[in-house]
A and B are shown apart, each in its own frame.
Chain A
Amino acid sequence: MNVTMKKIGKKYEGRDEFTLKDINLEIENKDFCVILGPSGCGKTTLLRMIAGLNSITEGDLLFDGKRMNKVAPKDRDIAMVFQSYALYPHMTVYDNMAFSLSMRKERKQLIDERVREAAKVLQIEDNLYVKPSDISGGQRQRVALGRAMVRNPKVFLMDEPLSNLDAKLREHMRVELVRLHKQLGTTTIYVTHDQTEAMTMASKIVLMDDGKIQQVGKPEDFYNRPENIFVAGFIGSPTMNIIKGSIQEGKFVSDNKLMTVTPHKEHQESLREFEGKKVSAGVRSERFEAGGKYGDTIDVDIEVVEMLGKEKILYCRMDDGHQLTISTPGHYDYDDGQRHSFGFDLEAMHYFDQETGERIN
C-alpha cells in the first residue's frame, strides 16, 4: 500500500510550536522505509500519526489515495510493533497473537490457522501457551511481530522494535526482519535512532531533525551524497570530518590555513560561484590516504589509536588543535605520538555552503 503524506503538521495541545511541520513524504508499496533521527526529532510522533494514535493537526495522510486523517486505528489496516513490545501480560502468547482477530470476531479455526502460521515463521511454536513474562526478550520481540503479522495488515509500523535487545540479538533480528519483509512484502515503516539499522535494513531512509525531513533516499545516497551538513554529520561512524574554510582562487583553504584542497574537476564547476565565500569541506575517515598521490596533504599528530581489528581509527590533531578522525586498515602500522601526513581522496570530498548548510557539489 502507498502511504502519502501531504504537508502534514502536528501541534500538541498546550504547546506553542509545531512539533512537525510541512512533512511531505511518499512511501511506495513494499518499501521498507526507515524514519531515522535523533531523539526528540518527531519521528515517533509521525509514526503514531500514521497509526492514528495521535491526531493530525494539519495536512493529509493518504493510504492508496484515500484520506485517513479521521479513520480509527483499527480501521486503517495497520499493525504496530512497539518499543516495549506491549504484550498483554495476563494473556498467553497464543492469546496475545489471537487477540486482534478475536476482536474482529473471526472464526476460531481461521484464528488458529493464522496464529500457528505466524508462530511457525517466527519459530515460537514451542512457546504458544506460556505467558510473556516466561520467555526471553528476543522471543517477546517475535511474539510482538507475530501479533502484528496475524492480521495480514497492509502496513507494518515499528517503533524502535530492536532497542531493548542486546547487541548480538539485535544484529540477528535485523536480518530476520529484512527476511520477513522480503517474504511478506508488506509496506513497512520503521522508526529508529540507530543509523546502522537504517543503513542495513532500509530500502528508503527518511532522515528527520527538528521536526523537518532533512533527506529522503537510498542508504548509499545518504553515505555518499549527504544533502546537508546535518545529514553528513549524522550518518556514518566515525562521524565525517568537517573542516570550515573558504574558496580562494578555486581552492578550498581551511580557516586555520593548514589545509588546502584543490577540488576535483567535477566539483570545480559548482564551487566556482562560491569563490571567496564560507564553505565547509567534509571528508569521511576512510577517504584519507597516506601515499600522497592526490597532491595536497596535511600534517597531523596521532593522539589516540583505536584498534578495532579490521581497521584502526586514528584520532589526530592538526597543528592548531583541530581534530581529525582517520581510519586505516587494521594491519597498517600507526602509533600514538607519531606525526604523519595524509592526503585526501578528492573525488569523495563533500562541500557545503556554510550559510545554508546545503551541499554544493
Chain B
Amino acid sequence: MGIFNRKKKSQLYLSDRQELTLFGKFGVAASHIVLMIWAVVIIWPLTQMVVSAFNGKQSGYLILNREFEFSLKHFEHLFQETLYLNWVWNTIFIAGATAVLTLFIVSFTGYAYSRYRFKGRKASLMTIMLIQTIPTFAGITAFFTMHSIIASVVPQFTRQMMLILIYSGGAIAANTFILKGYIDSISSELDDAAKIDGCSNMQIYRLIIMPIARPMLMLIGLWSFIGPFMDFLLPRVLLTSPRSYTLAAGLFTLVNDFRTMNQPAFAAGGLLTAVPIVLLFMALQNQLASGLAKGSVKG
C-alpha cells in the first residue's frame, strides 16, 4: 500500500484529470520548451537594452559582449543633447488627452448602446465593428486634408491635436463594444431601481453604472493612454518638427540618422518611456481588479 501511494504521488497530473500518459508527458515537455524559448526571445533584448543603457563603455553604435562599466552618461546625453523632455511632455499630453476624450465619449456611447433601443442601433454597431478592420494608417491622406482644412479655419488646431483625434477616434470605436458588453452584464433592474429612487438618466449613469463599471473604465483609460506611447507611424508621418515629436518618433531619430546617432541613448530613452506607464499601472492596480459587480444581483 505504501509503495502504491508513493508511486501515485510521483505521477504527473494536470489539475483534476487522469494521470498523464507517456505521450502526454512529451506534450507537456514540448510546450514547456516552446514557452521557455519564447520567454528568452522576449527577455533577452530587454536585458540587452537595460544593460546597454547603463553601460559607459558603449558609444554611438551598440556592440554586444563588450565589457561593462556603470555610467549614466547616456541618460545625460538624452536630457542635454536631445529634445527628450519635449518628447515626453508631448507624448503625455497626447496620451492623456486621448484617454480623457476616449473615456468621456465611450461612457456615453457604451451606456447608450447597452441600455437604449433606437433605430439603426444594430446597423451602426456593425458599421463600427467593420470599420475596425481597416488600419488607421490607410486614412493618412484624408487626415492630412482634414487637418489642413480645419487648420485654415482655426489656426490653433495643431497636428498634435489631429493626432489626438485620430487616436481617440479609433479607441472610441473599439472600446464602445467593450464597455457596452460590460454594461450589458449589469442588471438593468439596477437602472429601474434608480429610476424609482429618483435618478435622471444622467444620474443613473453617474451614480450607479459608472462606479460599477469603474474597473472596465480604468482599463479603457489605461489602454488609450498607452496607445500613443506605442505608435510610431502616425506621429512620424503627421508631425513635422522634432520639437513636436512623440517619444517613439523622437527616439527613432537616435537610431536612424547618422548625424544624431546614439544607440545607447535610444536604449536609455526606451527604458524611461516605460516609467510613466508602469507608474500609472501601479496606481490603478486596485481599481482594475474587477468583481465589484458581485452581490447586486443574486450571487
Contacts and interface: CB of A to CB of B under 8 A. Distances in A.
Contact of B196 (A78, A83, A89, A140): A78
A89 B198 CA distance: 18
A85 interface: yes
B192 interface: yes
Interface string B182-195: 00000101101111
A78 B192 CA distance: 12
Nearest to A51: B196
Given A84-B187, A84-B189, A86-B187, A53 B195 contact: yes
Most A CB within 10 A of own CB, among B187, B192, B194 = B192
A86 B293 CA distance: 11
B195 A84 contact: no
Nearest to B195: A73
B212 interface: yes
A53 B192 contact: yes
Contact of A90 (B203, B212, B298): B212
Interface string A299-342: 00000000000000000000000000000000000000000000
B295 to A, nearest CB: 3
Interface in A51-93: 51-53, 73-74, 78-80, 82-90
A154 interface: no
A221 interface: no
A145 to B, nearest CB: 13
Contacts of B298: 84-85, 137, 164
A224 interface: no
B183 to A, nearest CB: 14
Most A CB within 10 A of own CB, among B195, B198, B199, B292 = B198
B117 interface: yes
A134 interface: yes
Contacts of B295: 87, 89, 131-134, 140
A140 B295 CA distance: 9
Contacts of B190: 86, 88
Contact of B297 (A73, A85, A90): A85
A19 interface: no
A249 interface: no
A99 B189 contact: no
A90 B192 CA distance: 16
B7 interface: no
A147 B292 CA distance: 20
A143 to B, nearest CB: 11
Contact of B197 (A13, A53, A103, A134): A103
A82 B292 contact: no
Interface in B155-204: 187, 189-190, 192-199, 203
Interface in B184-231: 187, 189-190, 192-199, 203, 208, 211-212
A73 B197 CA distance: 8
A142 to B, nearest CB: 14
Contact of A80 (B196, B199, B208, B293): B196
A104 interface: yes
Interface residues of A, number: 31
Contacts of A53: 192, 195-196
Interface string B282-298: 00000000001111111
A280 B230 CA distance: 78
B207 to A, nearest CB: 8
A140 B198 CA distance: 21
A279 B298 CA distance: 47
Contacts of B293: 89
B299 interface: yes
A74 B197 contact: yes
A287 to B, nearest CB: 40
A265 B39 CA distance: 93
Given A85-B297, A85-B298, A164-B298, A90 B195 contact: no
A108 B211 CA distance: 23
Nearest to B296: A89
A86 B197 contact: no
A2 interface: no
A90 B196 contact: no
A73 B297 CA distance: 22
A164 B293 CA distance: 18
A282 B184 CA distance: 47
Contacts of B294: 89, 133
A82 B195 contact: no
A100 interface: yes
Most B CB within 10 A of own CB, among A53, A74, A90, A99 = A90
B117 A90 contact: no
Interface of B: 117, 187, 189-190, 192-199, 203, 208, 211-212, 292-299
19 contacts: A48-B192, A53-B192, A74-B196, A80-B193, A80-B196, A82-B189, A84-B189, A85-B297, A86-B189, A86-B190, A86-B297, A88-B194, A90-B292, A100-B196, A103-B203, A131-B295, A133-B294, A133-B296, A140-B295
Given A53-B195, A82-B189, A82-B193, 15 more contacts: A74-B195, A74-B196, A74-B197, A79-B196, A82-B192, A84-B297, A86-B192, A87-B296, A89-B292, A89-B293, A100-B196, A103-B198, A103-B203, A104-B198, A132-B295
